[in-house]
């Protein structure tokens, strides 16, 4: 019996040591990823790159700057920066047109049994046009962080039972 308890304790100890080693590897990988992202942010802030966008030397958007500052300040690792409020309505239209340049042509010559020859030339012109339009409307958020959809219930017309905002805040349980 005592031998069984020793074996069980040794097994538990080995399992704990394995979990500690796994945790250590994950911690190192997470730290390496954090350094990699910090390096990318430093490169994005350097003025020697090109023009516009990430890596261009342009200042980072305010939300990113706040997030980086909060991450670097001691004792605030659990807090996140607040994103600036989006405009009420954002409309974005993207149009892509592709002109193939010169049309492709296919020439065929057919000679019939009586000796007449018929020449046919077919030209194929292809133009591709893609238009994507996206409209984004900001949804007002209540003081509890849940969306207020046009003054109605948070889940729209489907919330007709005893479901309330407190239930949603607790994560449904």
8 pLDDT higher than 50? yes
Q: How many Å separate Cα 34 from the centre of its chain?
A: 18
What is the pLDDT at residue 22? Answer: 92
Q: Which two tokens stand for residue 156?
A: 């729209």
What whole-number distance in Å separates Cα of residue 17 and Cα of residue 27? Answer: 15
What is the pLDDT at residue 120? Answer: 80
pLDDT digits (tens, 9 = 90+) for 12-44: 999 999 999 999 999 999 999 988 888 888 888
Lowest-pLDDT choice from 49-58, 140-149, 154-163 = 49-58
What is the pLDDT at residue 108? Answer: 78
pLDDT digits (tens, 9 = 90+) for 84-131: 454 455 666 666 666 666 667 777 788 888 888 888 877 776 667 777
DSSP H helical ranges for 46-81: 62-72
Q: What is the mean pLDDT of residues 55-68?
A: 51
Q: What is the pTM of this model?
A: 0.27
Q: Are 84 and 60 in contact (CB under 8 A)?
A: no
What is the pLDDT at residue 53? Answer: 45
Listed residue (160, 157, 100) closest to 125, CA to CA: 100
């Amino acid at each position: 019996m005592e031998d069984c308890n020793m074996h069980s304790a040794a097994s538990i100890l080995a399992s704990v040591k394995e979990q500690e080693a796994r945790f250590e590897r994950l911690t190192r990988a997470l730290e390496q990823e954090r350094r990699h992202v910090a390096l990318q942010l430093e490169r994005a802030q350097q003025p020697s790159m090109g023009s516009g966008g990430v890596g261009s030397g342009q200042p980072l958007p305010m939300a990113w700057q706040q997030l980086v500052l909060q991450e670097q300040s001691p004792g605030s690792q659990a807090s996140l920066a607040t994103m600036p409020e989006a405009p009420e309505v954002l409309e974005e239209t993207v149009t892509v047109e592709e002109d193939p340049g010169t049309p492709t042509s296919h020439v065929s010559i057919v000679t019939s049994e009586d000796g007449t020859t018929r020449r046919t030339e077919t030209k194929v012109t292809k133009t591709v046009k893609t238009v994507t339009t996206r409209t984004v409307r900001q949804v007002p958020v209540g003081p509890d962080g849940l969306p207020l959809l046009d003054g109605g219930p948070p889940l729209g017309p489907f919330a007709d039972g005893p479901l309330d905002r407190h239930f949603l805040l607790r994560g449904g349980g």
